[in-house]
Structure 1
């Protein structure tokens, strides 16, 4: 076996029964395929990277004699290009007389303003498919909500640690490699159910390119990791701290992250920290390092080479180290200095409080109340000389609303001057 081959490819299952984990999901997919007739709803596979979505589709095509037509949906975003690629496939027989199976990967990357009708076209074409269609996405986000309604959805779960350990031991035995019990447990824990990540990390460890210990499993809060990195007295210590951060590198194409995921975005966290620190003469150089790392993350997402993400932390750690020494940089969640951010934050608290009372009373959302109703109300209260305290007690029976209104009225009067 050529040593250059990645274990994740060498041990990629060729048949459905060779796969590890998600037995119920595999059975559901096979039943869907067995009952498929023209017009059957497409299948939408949901699950994190590395759990076997793509592998399952390839195994089905090989095992059951389908001519697999595979497309990355996120690479074909607009209506015309998507139609040009899909239309020839939507028939029952390929050029060689075998049945076709259409696989659209990363459909959660097709949504967005630049798509100009791509998602709408996909939904229309999936209403009466003439070939079996399987789609895959990492998460069932709001972006593909309507598409999901037109599909039968099955969800993959991360592979359990017990099965991962058994599979890892099988691969190591097949390769004639040995790892210590601690290394194997750490590899399994670190991969978090991602088989591809497990095999890539194990191969790297077996080749001596990386070390793994149980201590590596313990992650550090992103705030503590960043503060520790910028105050570390040695590059080795700094690199270790950043590598152990409880952080992520989300694909920049996919927006709409929840606040906790956004907080753990390593590149965004470093950006806000560096910009708010006023690092002076090395600011541009540090931002250049972040920019290059961001480009790498984007390419990893487009090419689905998830294992390469583990190189981003070292890239950042080594690239920023010399440029950040002696700058007294401290973690900041915001990309503006606090003297600027403080008043903005304080006012947002006031507006949020008022919107929570006034919005329901005026039958609008809090957001609409904040930008439309509240400014008009404040201006009318100023013009009509309405007492904020009396207004609040009469309408909401809450003195704190009156106090918040006073602040908004004072701000509006100051802006008018």
Structure 2
């Protein structure tokens, strides 16, 4: 296949991303002075994975790769990536760990993968590089611990130049017009363009560009939003046909970003149209009459586009806060579940009983030293400590570090389950006769236990 045959062999053959390649090289050469992981994100076919593979080869690094076809749950990541991140090769060569399509670590198959990956990144002794198509699909905790590099969509002329090099090397004649058509329809995906060229084969010798069919592509939500606010045209609705978002999701995106584009009366009119669109969507869901989706979609796209004119040449689009709230809420529930499981494991109780301990533990966390002791006992990590007390967690972490320096001063903490506490019964006060009987018995036991001497015989 042409994709494999003409895979870049050195940095000079990586097209359209030369400045970013230099940034990645600088990060590798100074690794350890800043963030230990690198996140390269951008559209498919822009050269993310290719750059990493060429980089490892050119610099003489061993490449440990885990791609989307592999199972990437907590166990697998710890076994493969975790071991590789803290070990050296047989002959001491350096390693680069590549986790491809990091935005697809989710679902049951990859349970616990994100949390395990975060711990690996924090403790790694080798460079870790993640690639992703979507920046927003990578969890924020991972993004915060990575140096970010964004690969832009390749320009058509860049793709055309590479296709021209390939046909010349193959010794076949293809009209420039045909190559440009392939380049344009690839929408910046170099891999897709080369595959299209390969699939058409010798038919292209005749220069019949009609043989080149259109390529199905998923339009970027950010590109569509840009056209919505800049074009001031009802026809902008067509640009959203290829956006892979359901109408209710699309409404949230437009609702989030419209206040950034419009002001005053324009904003008021746009929000009125979005409100009407929301009513249509609600009726469609309630009545199962999904033909109303069309009216809702037209109002939220073409309607909002002609509702106003933006003065901004650049609008900093962002995903709906609704998604972020849902994500943070889900993460909080998962963290609380882990905390309750750890309490239950130590106290031999259910989550329901463990939940009753949380207020007491939270109160004890007001004292950083006690908080450190309790955290060590239950084996809470930093994220779990922060969940329990988001004000004193840093002080508790410092107290834990002090305890590590003085292990002999560690104290043992035991929490007695509440149900056990209720079963404690206090004995009645003994009467005078009972006390005298106990005293006589104690004397007899003492005499029996005394060591015999020679005079006893």
TM-score by length of 2: 0.47
Provide structure 2 residue ranges, at least 5 long, that are not aligned to the other structure: 220-238, 254-280, 297-321, 326-457
Deviation (angstroms), 1:256:
12
Change (3 A) 1:67 1:21: same
Change (3 A) 1:115 1:246: same
Deviation (angstroms), 1:255:
11
Query: Which residue of structure 1 lines up, in the alignment, with residue 288 of structure 2?
Result: 341
Query: Which residue of structure 2 lines up, in the alignment, with residue 327 of structure 1?
Result: none
| Distance (Å, rounded) in 2 between the aligned partners of 1:145 and 1:174 | 45
Aligned with 1:213 (options 210, 214, 217): 210
Establish whether residue 16 from structure 1 lines up as the match of residue 26 from structure 2.
no
* 1:11-410 pair list within 5 angstroms: 11-37=6-32, 40-72=35-67, 75-112=70-107, 115-208=110-203, 212-213=209-210, 259=250, 340-342=287-289
Q: Which has the larger radius of gyration?
A: 2
In 1, are the aligned partners of 2:183 and 2:193 still within 8 Å (CA)? Answer: yes
TM-score by length of 1: 0.51
| Distance (Å, rounded) in 2 between the aligned partners of 1:47 and 1:207 | 32
Query: Which residue of structure 2 lines up, in the alignment, with residue 280 of structure 1?
Result: none
Output one character per residue of 1:62-116: Cα deviation in whole Å (capped at 9) or x when no partner: 1111011001256333212221122220235212321111001011110235533
Query: Which residue of structure 2 lines up, in the alignment, with residue 382 of structure 1?
Result: none
| Distance (Å, rounded) in 1 between the aligned partners of 2:12 and 2:75 | 39
Establish whether residue 7 from structure 1 lines up as the match of residue 10 from structure 2.
no
Output one character per residue of 1:207-254: Cα deviation in whole Å (capped at 9) or x when no partner: 3399643995699999xxxxxxxxxxxxxxxxxxxxxx997697xxx9
Aligned-partner SS, 1:136 = strand
Change (3 A) 1:37 1:85: same
Change (3 A) 1:160 1:148: same
Q: RMSD between aligned alpha carbons?
A: 4.3
Aligned-partner SS, 1:75 = coil
Deviation (angstroms), 1:345:
6.8
Output one character per residue of 1:316-353: Cα deviation in whole Å (capped at 9) or x when no partner: xxxxxxxxxxxxxxxxxx9x99994239979xx9xxxx
Query: Which residue of structure 2 lines up, in the alignment, with residue 228 of structure 1?
Result: none
Change (3 A) 1:195 1:258: farther
Aligned-partner SS, 1:152 = strand
Change (3 A) 1:217 1:246: farther
Q: Which has the higher contact order (CA 8 A, sep 6+)?
A: 1
Change (3 A) 1:211 1:108: farther
Deviation (angstroms), 1:180:
1.9
Output one character per residue of 1:169-200: Cα deviation in whole Å (capped at 9) or x when no partner: 11110001122233112101101111111111
Change (3 A) 1:256 1:150: farther
In 2, are the aligned partners of 1:38 and 1:129 still within 8 Å (CA)? Answer: no
Deviation (angstroms), 1:141:
1.7
Change (3 A) 1:127 1:257: farther
| Distance (Å, rounded) in 1 between the aligned partners of 2:129 and 2:92 | 20
Output one character per residue of 1:277-332: Cα deviation in whole Å (capped at 9) or x when no partner: xxxxxxxxxxxxxxxxxxxxxxxxxxxxxxxxxxxxxxxxxxxxxxxxxxxxxxxx
Q: Across the two proteins, how many residue pairs are aligned to each other? A: 249
| Distance (Å, rounded) in 1 between the aligned partners of 2:247 and 2:146 | 22
Query: Which residue of structure 2 lines up, in the alignment, with residue 324 of structure 1?
Result: none
